Amino acid sequence: MRSYLSDRMGAALLMAPLLLFLVLAYAWPFLGVVKWSFTLPTPGLGQYEALLTDDLVQSVFIRTLRIAAVVTVVSVAAAYAITVVWVRGTPAQRLIAEFCILVPFWISVLTRAFGWVALLSNRGLINTWLQAIGFISEPLALVRNEFGVIVGMTHFLIPFAVFPLASAMRSLDDRVLLAARGLGSSRMRTFWTVFVPMTRSGIIGAAMIVFVFSLGFFVTPAILGGGRSVMIAELIYLRIFQSPDWGLGAAISVVLVLFVGALMALLFRYVRPKQLI
Amino acid sequence: MPTYRPGPVSLIIAAFVALFLLMPLLAVIPVSLTPSRMLAMPSGELSLRHYRALIEDPRWLQSILLSIRIGVVSSAFSTVLALCFSLGVWMFQPRFTAALVGFVLLPMVVPPVVSAITLYFLLTSISGFSAFFGYDTWLGVAMAHSVMTVPFATVLMLVSLSQLDRRIDLAARGLGATVWERATRVIMPNIKFGIVTAALLSFVLSWEEIGVTLFITSVNAITLPRLMWMGLRDNIDPAIAALSVILIIITVLVLAVRSFVARQRGA
């Protein structure tokens, strides 16, 4: 005979270590950061006021939103194309698609950003080849600008967009597609009027994940942007380590968390968490 | 078996995406063989000097060893914590489970840069009264990595527990097994694969962690990604290309073995 009380004790004992660890090592210091945003350098709402008035901060926010929007559209579209093959292709096509999705996914963000530097920089593969065949005389500026940042981020985020899309495409009933074809709908028309609308939850999930990830992206923009196309995350880093202005860095972090939290809440009104894996 | 196959247009577009995904990984190969001291395409002769530099320069070896140490410690720590927590959730299904799991998953969904500044605050506060355990120490980095990897380990454990048949546990319970016996003799042997995967994923995530590490280290705790970062930002060192090639080969090999094992298990 096991009592209700001992069950509760058992649960508490097993769950306590992790909860305690995260309260002490994550929740408490986060409150500390919130405190910084209100007290450094002087107590008050000065940092938040600066966020609304500072031209540099404003332009970084706008650039971040713009890059995140472009990256979201491009990577969800690209992910959709490869996921169709991964889920619905012949066994050989599926194997190749899986390889192309999973290998980049498991390779570190630094290696991938470096790969793009090797391709896009002035003495990189693309410029060297284009000059060798005489197509251009001066190297094209492909990196250390917004273009490089968008390319690198899209590359990083495509695999993350693939998973929710694959989950939506796998749960789709084949008979509906066959019915559309049987009733005389062309391939194109079946794809656009049946297949795509039926995977809408996957598209929304993928777009949200990619957008949220892009907002807080640090490594890729810092390397491929070369300090010229600074995004929010890099701005926080610069405020903490270069200009020491901890209060402003903290205030930007708090705003970023609130913004991402609001987006997630919006996401979960439309998509159940299980559909995202 | 899907009967609705992608048509030629889909295949062509997907091929371009596949090429885009593999391109930067292939591009590092020629760069790693350049005889030049700077980042450039090899023109004519090839050289292995940058591979030799990886072995001969002690900084690379030191940071590899440090990354392994931090990875092992933080992965062991997060695996144990995540295992206990998930067992508690699965065996007792306490009230507020959703809220508690949501709290545990926070470091995974909060933008990494915010976690980074949070952990920077934590470690600089600890540094005030301990020299071994705080900002720019290996133990501090290991703890920060545990915070970042524990949500992923928990998700994997909960997923593999959700596939476990509850009746096995009920039978053990009915036969008088204690909580400890149920956990260690009944449940854990059945989720072995999940536990190993969680430990492995935690290690890999710690091994390649850079976003947080950048905020909490300066000169002492230089992990491998941190060293690569320094070589990438200032003057691009082709040794990074050599290192990248090695890391890519390891990844491809591990994935190939994994998919082979998965096929064997499935067959």
The burial class, CB within 10 Å (0-12 / 13-18 / 19+), for B38 is exposed
Q: How many of the other CB atoms lie within 10 Å of CB of B33?
A: 20
b/e sequence B191-216, b meaning 16+ C-beta within 10 Å:
beebbebbbbbbbbbbbbbbbbbbbb
HEC profile of A133-158? CCCCCCCCCCCCCHHHHHHHHHHHHH
Enclosing domain of residue B150: 69-223
Half-sphere exposure of A34 toward its Cβ, with a 13 Å CA cutoff? 10
- At residue A3, the pLDDT reads 55
| Band (B231; pLDDT cuts 50, 70, 90) | confident
For residue B191, give both structure tokens.
Answer: 């989720």
- At residue B33, the pLDDT reads 87
Q: Do B117 and A33 count as a contact with CB atoms less than 8 A apart?
A: yes
Q: How many of the other CB atoms lie within 10 Å of CB of A45?
A: 11
Q: Do B88 and A19 count as a contact with CB atoms less than 8 A apart?
A: no
How far is the C-alpha of A40 from the C-alpha of A232, rounded, in Å? 19
How far is the C-alpha of B91 from the C-alpha of B264, rounded, in Å? 31
Cα→Cα distances A1→A6, B56, B174, Å: 10, 66, 9
For residue A206, give both structure tokens.
Answer: 């993928």
Q: Do A81 and B21 count as a contact with CB atoms less than 8 A apart?
A: no
- Tell me, yes or no, if B22 comes closer than 8 A to chain A by beta carbon: yes
- At residue B42, the pLDDT reads 72
Tell me the residue type at A35: K
Query: Chains A and B: how many Cβ contacts under 8 Å?
Result: 273
- At residue B1, the pLDDT reads 42
Q: Does the bond joining A41 to the residue before it have cis omega, within 30 degrees of 0?
A: yes
Find out whether A121 and A143 touch, Cβ atoms under 8 Å: yes
Cα→Cα distances B108→A34, A261, B151, B155, Å: 19, 13, 6, 10
Backbone angles phi, psi at B110, to 5 degrees: -65, 140
For residue B37, give both structure tokens.
Answer: 């001291």
- Tell me, yes or no, if A167 comes closer than 8 A to chain B by beta carbon: no
Find out whether B113 and A216 touch, Cβ atoms under 8 Å: yes
Q: Is residue B23 part of a domain?
A: no
Q: Do A19 and B85 count as a contact with CB atoms less than 8 A apart?
A: yes
Find out whether A162 and A78 touch, Cβ atoms under 8 Å: no
How far is the C-alpha of A63 from the C-alpha of A230, rounded, in Å? 8
Which segment of A173-182, B41-50, B219-228, B254-263 scores lowest on mean pLDDT? B41-50
- Tell me, yes or no, if B157 comes closer than 8 A to chain A by beta carbon: no
Chain B hits for A219, Cβ within 8 Å? 210-211, 229
- At residue B3, the pLDDT reads 61
- At residue B39, the pLDDT reads 73
Half-sphere exposure of B1 toward its Cβ, with a 13 Å CA cutoff? 3
b/e sequence B63-74, b meaning 16+ C-beta within 10 Å:
bbebbeebbbbb
- At residue A171, the pLDDT reads 86
Mean pLDDT in residue range B225-254: 87
The ranges of chain A with pLDDT < 70 are 1-5, 271-277
Q: Is residue B254 part of a domain?
A: no
Return the residue of B nearest to A6 by Cα. B179
Q: How many of the other CB atoms lie within 10 Å of CB of B219?
A: 6
The reported pTM is 0.88
Residues contacting A153, CB < 8 A, separation 6+: A67, A71, A75, A214, A217, A220, A221
> Residue A46: which H helix or E strand, with range?
helix A46-53
- Tell me, yes or no, if B228 comes closer than 8 A to chain A by beta carbon: yes
CA distance B116 to chain A (A): 9
How far is the C-alpha of A101 from the C-alpha of A149, rounded, in Å? 20
CA distance A233 to chain B (A): 6
Q: Count up the domains in chain B and report the number.
A: 1
Chain B hits for A178, Cβ within 8 Å? 3-4
| Band (B161; pLDDT cuts 50, 70, 90) | very high
Nearest CB to B118: which of A29, A81, A216? A29
Is pLDDT at B233 greater than 70 in this prediction? Answer: yes
Backbone angles phi, psi at A115, to 5 degrees: -55, -40
Find out whether B111 and A19 touch, Cβ atoms under 8 Å: no
Q: Is residue B173 part of a domain?
A: yes
Which segment of A140-154, B25-39, B40-54, B83-97 scores lowest on mean pLDDT? B40-54
- Tell me, yes or no, if A34 comes closer than 8 A to chain B by beta carbon: no
Half-sphere exposure of B107 toward its Cβ, with a 13 Å CA cutoff? 31
Q: Is residue B102 part of a domain?
A: yes
CA distance B203 to chain A (A): 12
Q: Is residue B19 part of a domain?
A: no
Nearest CB to B25: which of A7, A115, A219? A115
Residues B155/B156/B158/B159 CA torsion (nearest 10 deg): 110
Interface test with B, best of A26, A64, A268 (most B CBs within 10 A): A26
Chain A hits for B82, Cβ within 8 Å? 18
Could you give the angle at which helices A246-270 and A46-53 cross, rounded to 10 degrees?
Answer: 70
Reported as a single tens digit per residue, the pLDDT across B177-202 is 888 889 999 999 999 989 999 999 99
Q: Do B225 and A108 count as a contact with CB atoms less than 8 A apart?
A: yes
Q: Is the dihedral of CA A100, B200, B207, B100 positive or negative?
A: positive
Residues belonging to chain A: 277
| Domain harbouring B113, CATH code | 1.10.3720.10
Could you give the angle at which helices A46-53 and A55-88 cross, rounded to 10 degrees?
Answer: 80
- At residue B107, the pLDDT reads 94
How far is the C-alpha of A74 from the C-alpha of A206, rounded, in Å? 12
Tell the CATH topology of A47-276: MetI-like fold (1.10.3720)
Chain A hits for B13, Cβ within 8 Å? 81
Q: Which of A263, A222, A63, A52 is nearest to B111 (CA)?
A: A263
- At residue A1, the pLDDT reads 46
- At residue A274, the pLDDT reads 58
Chain B hits for A222, Cβ within 8 Å? 233
Q: Do A240 and B117 count as a contact with CB atoms less than 8 A apart?
A: yes
- Tell me, yes or no, if B203 comes closer than 8 A to chain A by beta carbon: no
Mean pLDDT in residue range B56-85: 94
Tell me the residue type at A63: R
> Residue A202: which H helix or E strand, with range?
helix A200-215
Chain A hits for B228, Cβ within 8 Å? 110-111, 114
**CA end-to-end span of chain B, whole Å?**
17
For residue B238, give both structure tokens.
Answer: 């082709």
- At residue B31, the pLDDT reads 85
CA distance B10 to chain A (A): 6
Return the residue of B nearest to A88 by Cα. B5
The burial class, CB within 10 Å (0-12 / 13-18 / 19+), for B37 is exposed
Find out whether B119 and B144 touch, Cβ atoms under 8 Å: yes
- At residue A256, the pLDDT reads 93
CA distance B246 to chain A (A): 11
Q: Which of B64, B87, B95 is nearest to B188 (CA)?
A: B87
- Tell me, yes or no, if A268 comes closer than 8 A to chain B by beta carbon: no
